[in-house]
Structure 1
Amino acid sequence: MDALTALKKHRKFPFSGYREDEEQYLMSQMYWLELFKSVTRETQDTWEGWMSPPPDRDGSLIFSAVCPAQGRGVIVNQYAPTEDDVPHDQGGTYHPFVAWVDVLGDAQAGPVIEHLTLNSEISARCEPHCLRLLTLYVVEKRSRREMEEEIRTLEDQLYGPVKKQP
Structure 2
Amino acid sequence: MTEFKHILVPFDNSEKGLKSITTASKIAGNLGGKITILQCVEKKIPKFMFFKTKQDKIDAARDVNIAENEASKFREIAKKYGANVATKIEKIEDDPHQYIIDYANKSDVDLVVMNPSENINTTEIHQSVVDKISRNLNCSLLRIQ
TM-score, length of structure 2 as denominator length:
0.31
Higher relative contact order (CA 8 A, sep 6+): 2
**If the length of structure 1 is used for normalisation, what is the TM-score?**
0.28
**Higher helix fraction: Structure 1 or Structure 2?**
2
